[in-house]
Amino acid sequence: MYMSYLNPKRWVHMMGRKKFGEFLVLAAFMLFFYGPLLHMFMLAFANKYEMPGVLPQEFGFQWWRYVLAQPTLVSSIVLSFTIALITTALSLLICIPAAYVLARYEFPGRKLVMFSFLLGNAFPKIGIYASMGIIFYRIGLMGTLPGVLIVHLLGGMMLMIWMPTNAFKSVPRQQEEAARDIGAGPIRTFFYVTLPMAWPGIAVASMFTFIGSLGENQGTLLVGLPNYRTMPVEMYGVILDYPATAGAVFALILLIPNVLLLFLMRKYVGPETLSKGFKMG
């Protein structure tokens, strides 16, 4: 009885032919998009998985135990999170004041400054890292934490300037003026009125910076080795040296913070915040 509701014929009538077509396209897309992810999920919880089988022969946490028992892997996880935290904090410290100035003051070259952050993202990253590497060699930043942090900071720079700039712009000046009028100085006005109102945009940018830093690999590989091996850098080794199941476990660990952050920020992350955040003005 209930099973008959799974009959696609009913769906066509329920949704109409056009809607059903859209549904099929969406379903195909989802399969394409989430299929590999699902497969990875399955792999990560497989104790035994041999080729011809569609499903693993045995489920369990065997590979989780294995991965978490590797000291280099665990330390790379800790390192990645530490670097991501420092990167996010530093870029907030640097970019928020800059974004405020860009949002509130008209000065010659303002557009150019905004545009230059875009240019930085328009070139192939590896070229930029290579030239940075040359400079870093000269000034002794190769293989150092500051060197790695600079690479990570630059990676998130455009986002951290553009989104907060637009977030600050969307705070009506009158609301700041109302605070001044009532007796708050410029600093209090910023912290009690402007910053809280711009917060959604800033939070989303921070989240992406954090996620971006966690996932950064090219630059870290170039500048950080051999001293700083973050998770994504270790990933290369894991894929080469361990069975696919271990790789899946590791990839899932990399994925957890992203999913968690996206879930926590789901209120703020929408097409609207994003499209507003990248307006050039």
Contact residues toward another protein (CB under 8 A) are 172, 174-175, 177-185, 188, 192-193, 196-197
Residue with smaller CB distance to another protein, 37 or 182: 182
For the bound state, the minimum distance from the C-beta of residue 190 to another protein, rounded and expressed in Å, comes to 13
For the bound state, the minimum distance from the C-beta of residue 56 to another protein, rounded and expressed in Å, comes to 49
Retrieve residue 209's tokens: 């910076």
For the bound state, the minimum distance from the C-beta of residue 242 to another protein, rounded and expressed in Å, comes to 49
- A 10 A CB-CB count for 254 gives 18
Residue with smaller CB distance to another protein, 122 or 187: 187
C-beta separation of 115 from 280 below 8 A? yes
For the bound state, the minimum distance from the C-beta of residue 270 to another protein, rounded and expressed in Å, comes to 17
Residue with smaller CB distance to another protein, 21 or 196: 196
- What are the C-alpha distances in Å from 172 to residues 105, 107, 122, 198, 233? 14, 19, 32, 10, 44
Which candidate, 151, 154, 115, 275, places its Cα nearest to that of 204? 275
The residues, any chain, with a CB within 8 Å of residue 72's CB and separated by 6 or more, are 229, 234
Residue with smaller CB distance to another protein, 50 or 106: 106
Residue with smaller CB distance to another protein, 19 or 173: 173
For the bound state, the minimum distance from the C-beta of residue 109 to another protein, rounded and expressed in Å, comes to 18
Question: Angle at Cα 100 formed by Cα 257 and Cα 262, nearest 5°?
Answer: 15
Q: How far apart are CA 85 and CA 79, in angstroms?
A: 10
